[in-house]
Each structure stands twice: as C-alpha cells, then as structure tokens.
Amino acid sequence: MSLQMCTQVKQPEKSTSMENSTTKNNPYYSRTDRTKLNVPNSEWKKILSPDVYAIAREADTERPGTGKYNIHDELGEYYCAVCGNHLFRSDAKFSSTCGWPSFFEADKEGTAYNRDSTYGMERIEVVCKRCDSHLGHVFNDGPPPTGTRYCMNSLSLEFVGDSEKETK
C-alpha cells in the first residue's frame, strides 16, 4: 500500500501547546451548535491566529511530522479548531506514518468534501461542514473497516480528552 501525501504551500510556525487559543476570542465557537456559519474570511482573519488562518481558510498544509496530534493516542474527541464542530473520535485514529494525524472514519455530520485539483493532483479535500474550514484530505489507502485515510492538519483540530469531559 502506498500513501499519497498532502502538499504543502507555506510553512506555518510550529505550535507545541495543546491549548487552542482560537476559542478565547471567537464568538462563533461552539461544540454544540451545528448551525451552518457564513462568516467572511475578512472576519476569520481577525479572529484566528495566522497559522490557523493559513491552514483553515487558505488550505495550507503543516509540514509533515510537526503537528501536535500526529503522535497522540489519548482517548477523546476531535473538534474543528475554528468553530468547535465535532469531527472525529479518537477510536478512529491510527498511525499511518504519513506525517499527519490520520483517521479511518469521520463524523458524517461534521465533515464535507470538495474536489481538489491543485498541484496537478486529483484529491478529495475534507472541510468542516459547519464553517467550511480546510481540514486536510481523504485517501482510499486506509485500514479496515473503511479503507479510507483522513489525513488532517493538527492546527485544524482541537482535542478534548475523555478524562477532561468526565471532570466537568
């Protein structure tokens, strides 16, 4: 099985913190509201950090192996870092060795798909269904039971561990 890679345009600054500073001043962020957002990029640019904006709104890509969730195996939920929409459960995460966090299944209510013909390749872009932010790409070279590999950017994700949910 060969793994196709996502292509990188820019090199965002490396983030080491597991905290998401995007949520602090973001009036659109909610982990419970699934209402479709129609926010212009000019507004997102005021709210999001430059790194998150470049990936989520300009479809940039993190350098392989630099994302905070690439090697992360805690049980919990992954949400859109931009709007808080639920995207993945950690039970669907696997080690693909491609350099980005990979999942074999997504929340069907949380993700949408676009054809991506950039850089001379045919790929399927994965976006947040609520805010249309770029998350990564999906490929047909993943493990059972789905055979798909959702190759995601860590900066597009926010993780909440099961242990954090139980204490609240």
Could you tell me if 94 and 115 are in contact, meaning their C-beta atoms sit under 8 angstroms apart?
A: no
From CA 131, how far away is CA 35, in angstroms rounded? 9
Single-letter amino acid code for the residue at 67: G
83 is catalytic: no
Of 133, 130, 135, which Cα lies nearest the Cα of 154? 135
Report the catalytic residues.
151
